[in-house]
Structure 1
């Protein structure tokens, strides 16, 4: 006889919490909702499930049980598989090594369920397979208490598909023992043996592409409605950007706004982005982010920066006013960027203005 499994009561959930994120958990919910004769009771059941009005849950072969609000005894019964059906199911699992690994990894592969169905082994419940019982006076089928229990059970199924198999009659231990009595199919060796792979050594990397390629301006012919000069500027800018990416190895593409700022900084365009252009000229995308996006750095990063400041200051370091990634000392402000550098800012016309290239050491910018 398989021992029952007990699960602690779920606490009240946050607003918007979902039921069943796994596909087999959603199949369980669908069986419940297709069986229901009253959608209002289902709605109440969802509310009961999310507000923690279901006690600890016990799962045993063919039986899901809990004590719900007002001490009602609530049970949902599921038909157990026959011994012959279990043997056919184990045959399907053992026929593919990946099925065993998936189950042990708490996953229920689609093709395993389909193979079981082909062998006349219904793992997932369908309409009418869930039989609710409750000691409450409600005649609903299911009542709100049984519905709440089923909704919470979907969370258990998400975490562990062995809960479903236990409801169908057998637990994890019995299943593993049954599989161990079968021959697991051997998989054909693939790839190169480890010893041979290490013996090959590390092949040399290819030479980097040349970076001294001179860009040849486009020789465009004038055409009606086409600003040839603007196209030539854009082509030169794209070549410059490609060269920069090749040199730095950067892979994060610029947003449309960042690229507009970059073009303004590179060609002196007047697009009303003076502060952004100054930030870009001093620090590129990192400088622009420091100008416009406050964030909260990890505590260890700030502690390391404070130690650098104290070590680099002769005598008592200045009083620093801190807010998220911003340190203010009088009319000087440092902003810690997501790239690990500190960006200096100075007060200008009541606003903070980019004031130089960044440094790793904040004391270098204040002293």
Structure 2
């Protein structure tokens, strides 16, 4: 049976609604926009996508489809991966436990896409990979209906990268089943024959340690000697912290190097300890080390990053005047809101409280998404 997923029609959106907030969703939109030769049709497609007039979307291997204005059957075709390409992709996913965990958490790691590209598996579409079809009289490529479908598809991709994999030819269930086969443990021997096992006998136990030897590690301070009491609460925090760091190591394959200050804030944020500045703790909870850096340091981002953010801000307010921005280095102030560009490529929101800018929410790749 052919895999297919249906999605309800998107309702009417506000004028400033953004498309593609995830990096893979933006790559999808970029591939469609780079194919177009008519920017006016793209503008019409963005506006049409927000009207609520595009019908339910069906995603299946090699295509996405919808009905526009109850009249036109709009289809965008996507090249499917070959069986050999899928095998190479599954090898890359199974090679690292963090890749599987990320996909199941509806994330598409940069590292996975790069590894797939190295194995000649193009997951993300490039210029010319999307083929729009629509019977409307508009000769644009894509027409406004097909462009609207692609823009709405970016919302689906943001929510679930498995939608992209389905377009490329494999559904989520098939992929998970194939990955489980790759992770199945090899068959172990049935065991040791009972006769040789009992013939070995029981080895003697070692003798007890001497009772008259006292030992105190000389490197430890008196407060940390073997006679000192153990702070059970502190030990529980350290154990929980170690478990969380071990989980991060399993998912990501590595851990960032933290300064003593950063690690102090991390412990306070992760375990509700009243040992760190409130703003720093909140910044860590929103964005980790990058969020803390956005709070504490100003820096000058590359011009291309700021130009891209300015374009996103303006396009997000299509049909309306964007708010006035007072820009200084990586900090953009828009009235009572300040956006700070982090070194991780995300914008962190801050609000003014008692004369100080305080972290006020999780970051976004698109600065206009923080103005809603």
Question: Scaled by the length of structure 1, what TM-score is found?
Answer: 0.52
Relative distance call for 1:249 and 1:161 in structure 2 (3 A) is closer
* 1:42 Cα deviation from its structure 2 partner: 0.3
Distance in 2 separating the partners of 1:36 and 1:48: 16
Instruction: State whether structure 2 residue 47 is matched by structure 1 residue 47.
Output: yes
* 1:203 Cα deviation from its structure 2 partner: 3.8
Question: 1:123·1:168 contact (CA, 8 Å) conserved in 2?
Answer: yes
* 1:64 Cα deviation from its structure 2 partner: 0.4
Relative distance call for 1:99 and 1:138 in structure 2 (3 A) is same
Name the counterpart of 1:147: 147
Distance in 2 separating the partners of 1:252 and 1:85: 50
Question: 2:46·2:151 contact (CA, 8 Å) conserved in 1?
Answer: yes
Name the counterpart of 1:72: 72
* 1:125 Cα deviation from its structure 2 partner: 0.1
Name the counterpart of 1:107: 107
Distance in 1 separating the partners of 2:23 and 2:60: 22
Unaligned segments of structure 1, at least 5 residues: 186-199, 206-247, 254-288, 291-367
* 1:249 Cα deviation from its structure 2 partner: 7.2
1:180-191 matches, within 5 Å, as: 180-183=180-183
Distance in 2 separating the partners of 1:138 and 1:81: 30
* 1:8 Cα deviation from its structure 2 partner: 0.1
Unaligned segments of structure 2, at least 5 residues: 186-228, 235-273, 280-352, 355-372
Relative distance call for 1:145 and 1:252 in structure 2 (3 A) is same
Name the counterpart of 2:129: 129
Name the counterpart of 2:171: 171
Instruction: State whether structure 2 residue 17 is matched by structure 1 residue 17.
Output: yes
The RMSD of aligned alpha carbons is 2.5
Name the counterpart of 1:5: 5
* 1:69 Cα deviation from its structure 2 partner: 1.7
Measured against aligned partners, the alpha-carbon deviations of 1:223-247 in whole angstroms (never above 9, x if no partner) come to xxxxxxxxxxxxxxxxxxxxxxxxx
Max radius of gyration: which structure?
1
Higher RCO (C-alpha under 8 Å, 6+ residues apart): 2
Distance in 2 separating the partners of 1:85 and 1:49: 33
Distance in 2 separating the partners of 1:111 and 1:249: 36
Relative distance call for 1:62 and 1:249 in structure 2 (3 A) is closer
* 1:251 Cα deviation from its structure 2 partner: 3.7
Name the counterpart of 1:306: none
Give secondary structure in 1 for the equivalent of 2:77.
strand
1:1-367 matches, within 5 Å, as: 1-183=1-183, 202-203=231-232, 251-252=277-278
Distance in 2 separating the partners of 1:55 and 1:107: 27
Question: 2:55·2:70 contact (CA, 8 Å) conserved in 1?
Answer: no
Distance in 2 separating the partners of 1:158 and 1:204: 41
Relative distance call for 1:40 and 1:182 in structure 2 (3 A) is same
Give secondary structure in 2 for the equivalent of 1:46.
helix
* Count of aligned residue pairs for this structure pair: 201
* 1:3 Cα deviation from its structure 2 partner: 2.1
Measured against aligned partners, the alpha-carbon deviations of 1:18-59 in whole angstroms (never above 9, x if no partner) come to 000000000000000000010000000000001112100000
